[in-house]
């Protein structure tokens, strides 16, 4: 059984999303109608091991594909990785009629989409998300990029995948921590757009295909309304001003996963909402309970100078004013201009107090 959704954006190539256990049948059919000069599959060592064989076992369409395997982790969203990949593409003699396939989580998607957008001025790419976070978020919406000097996604482009093939069973091999981290983004959708979805997810530990579709439908509505992130779409960034800054200034022994960083951001930004946009104490406590039940608070280890640099470089900012997304109530977000650094620091103090 396959569900399909379609993202259509004026004057842009649209993305068609296929989700279900039979999606590779659809991919096989799509490839038979095309004459790509070469398929290039981007993986990391985990998706090469856990996901590629599941496709190869039943289908032959990747038989002659080139595989470009990156080191897993956020460090691969970098200029040095970008350069090595472009060197490999030239060595394999890949032309502009090739098809790039992202087979991985958000990291693989962000860099594959970016390279697809710049290599020979643009190559088609399709998405096969393998992590829950990528299935519910990173695979959709055309944001691509790499990190630079402690700032997330500082360099990138808008470039939409032609097709997105979501095979939910890929999540079976995800490490528990990686699976759970995605719940930060799942909760975010409820907080910005749908209170009953937030309350439903707060009481669950996992999500099913219907929940994945719900997340994609919420994201799709924001992207359709504002594809290039100049207004409404910014609301998808709730939790990310602080989340992204923590992610790149993190000094803990193990990296801070994106979804956990967003989870911390949700709490801190809900705290600021209580102070600045009238979020009620009752709803704030519901958010605290819902988020911490899925993502238990952790001790913050970060470099304050790098944190402030990242906050000041956030892409939402304009005319030296810090922009952030806040909640008026659960299910209703607003774009708030001119946030003070004092509010940010106070919200981190609040978070430290509950660890």
Ligand X SMILES: NC(=O)c1ccc[n+]([C@@H]2O[C@H](COP(=O)([O-])OP(=O)(O)OC[C@H]3O[C@@H](n4cnc5c(N)ncnc54)[C@H](O)[C@@H]3O)[C@@H](O)[C@H]2O)c1
The binder of ligand X chosen from 69, 100, 126, 141 (CB under 6 A):
141
CA distance 43 to 70: 6
Closest CB to ligand X among residues 24, 284 = 24
Contact of 328 with 277, CB cutoff 8 Å: yes
7 binds ligand X (CB under 6 A): no
> Between residues 247 and 283, which has the closer beta carbon with respect to ligand X?
247
Q: How far is the CB of 345 from ligand X (least distance, A)?
A: 24
46 binds ligand X (CB under 6 A): yes
Rounded to 10°, the helix 304-312/240-249 angle is 140
Strand pairing class (15-20; 163-166): parallel
Which one of 7-15, 102-110, 120-128, 313-321 is the stretch in contact with ligand X (CB under 6 A)? 102-110
Tell me if 72 contacts ligand X by CB under 6 A.
Answer: yes
235-250 as b/e: b if 16+ CB within 10 A: bbbbbbbbbbbbbbbb
Q: Which of 130, 202, 248, 347 binds ligand X (CB under 6 A)?
A: 130
Decide if residue 243 touches ligand X (CB under 6 A): no
347 binds ligand X (CB under 6 A): no
333 vs 277: CA distance, rounded Å: 10
Would you list the DSSP string of 274-289? HHHT---HHHHHHHHH
254 DSSP assignment: S
Determine the Cα angle at 338 with ends 333 and 188, to 5°: 25
> In the numeric block, which tokens belong to residue 309?
């640099």
User: Is position 273 an interface residue for ligand X (rule: CB under 6 A)?
Assistant: no
Candidate list 150, 234, 258, 274; residue touching ligand X; CB under 6 A: 258
- Nearer residue to ligand X within complex by CB, 229 or 283: 229
The CA distance from 141 to 113, in Å, is 11
Residue from 42, 52, 110, 324 touching ligand X (CB under 6 A): that is 110
CA angle 207, 208, 211 (to 5 degrees): 75
117 sits near ligand X (criterion: CB under 6 A): no
Which of 24, 55, 104, 116 touches ligand X (CB under 6 A)?
A: 104
Where does this chain bind ligand X (CB under 6 A)? 44, 46-47, 50-51, 72, 74, 77, 104-108, 110, 130-131, 133-134, 137-138, 141, 143, 152, 170, 173-174, 178, 181, 258-259
């Amino acid at each position: 059984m396959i569900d399909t959704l379609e993202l259509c954006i004026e004057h842009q190539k649209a993305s068609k999303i296929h989700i279900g256990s039979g999606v590779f049948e659809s991919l096989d059919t799509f490839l038979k109608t095309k004459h790509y000069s070469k398929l290039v599959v981007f993986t990391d060592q985990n998706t090469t091991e856990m996901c590629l064989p599941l496709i190869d076992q039943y289908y032959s369409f990747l038989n002659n594909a080139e595989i470009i395997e990156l080191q897993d982790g956020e460090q691969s969203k970098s200029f040095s990785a970008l350069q090595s990949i472009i060197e490999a593409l030239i060595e394999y003699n890949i032309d502009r009629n090739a098809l790039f396939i992202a087979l991985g989580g958000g990291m693989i998607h962000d860099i594959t989409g970016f390279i697809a957008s710049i290599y020979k001025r643009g190559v088609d790419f399709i998405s096969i998300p393998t992590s829950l976070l990528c299935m519910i978020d990173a695979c959709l919406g055309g944001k691509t990029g790499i990190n630079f000097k402690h700032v997330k996604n500082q360099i990138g482009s808008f470039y939409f995948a032609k097709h997105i093939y979501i095979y939910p069973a890929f999540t079976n091999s995800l490490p528990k921590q990686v699976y759970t981290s995605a719940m930060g983004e799942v909760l975010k959708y409820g907080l910005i757009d749908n209170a009953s979805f937030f309350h439903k997810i707060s009481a669950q530990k996992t999500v099913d295909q219907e929940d994945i579709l719900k997340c994609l439908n919420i994201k799709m509505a924001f992207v359709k309304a504002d594809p290039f992130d100049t207004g409404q779409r910014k609301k998808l960034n709730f939790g990310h001003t602080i989340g992204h800054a923590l992610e790149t200034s993190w000094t803990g022994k193990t990296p801070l996963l994106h979804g956990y960083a967003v989870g911390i951001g949700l709490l801190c930004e809900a705290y600021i909402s209580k102070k600045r946009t009238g979020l009620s104490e009752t709803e704030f406590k519901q958010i605290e309970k819902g988020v911490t039940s899925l993502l238990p608070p952790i001790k913050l280890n970060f470099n304050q100078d790098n944190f402030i640099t990242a906050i000041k470089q956030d892409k939402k900012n304009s005319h030296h004013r810090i922009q952030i997304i806040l909640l008026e109530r659960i299910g209703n977000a607003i774009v708030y201009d001119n946030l003070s650094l004092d509010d940010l620091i106070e919200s981190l103090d609040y978070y430290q107090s509950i660890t």
